[in-house]
Structure 1
C-alpha cells in the first residue's frame, strides 16, 4: 500500500484543486486543521516520553525541566534488533532506553 500526500502548490490560495486519477483508487481525506492537531499532539507525546527517559538517566537527571524539554525536542528514536550493528557517529550522544548494547572500540 502506498500513501501519497496531495497538496495545493500555493498554500495561501483558497480555491479547490483538481487531480486526475491515473488508475482506480481510494482516497482518504482529513481536514488540514485536524491533521495538524493530531500531528502536534503526537509530537508532544513523543517529546514528553523522551524527556522522561532523559530525566531517568544518570547523565541527565540533574538538568532543569526546560533543558530536558529542549534536548528531548531534538532527540531521534532509533531501534535495533538483537545482534544488529550500530555505527556510532562521534557528533551524537546516545542513550540506551531499553535493552542493552555491547560496545567495541576500533
Structure 2
C-alpha cells in the first residue's frame, strides 16, 4: 500500500511482514525522494532521525548543490549550531551546515528538500 509522508511528501510503503526483532508493528520501507550525495544516498529519514533527535533543532531543509549536501537548520531560541554541526559532520563529513531564522518552503507550504 503506498504512503505519503506529510512532513516531506516522500513516497514509501508499509511492510506487513514480521520484523526480525519480533515486533508485530508495521514498518515503513525505505522511501523515494533521497538526495544523491557522492556514493552515499542519505534519505530524508536519515536526516530527520539525526536532526529531530536534537532538542535545539526546530526544523531543517536540505538540498544538493554540485557535490555538496547543504543543510539549513532552524534552531530553538538559545540553541547553538556547534553541537548540531558536529553531529551532522560526524554522519555526513562533506556536508555544509548553516543556521537560518526561517526556512525555504515550497508554494504548498511543504519543507523544501531537493
Q: For the superposition of Structure 1 and Structure 2, which TM-score range results when normalised by the shorter chain?
A: under 0.3
Higher percent of residues as strand: 2
**TM-score of the superposed pair, with normalisation by structure 2:** 0.25
User: RCO greater where, 1 or 2, for CA within 8 Å and sep 6 or more?
Assistant: 2
Higher percent of residues as helix: 1
**TM-score of the superposed pair, with normalisation by structure 1:** 0.26
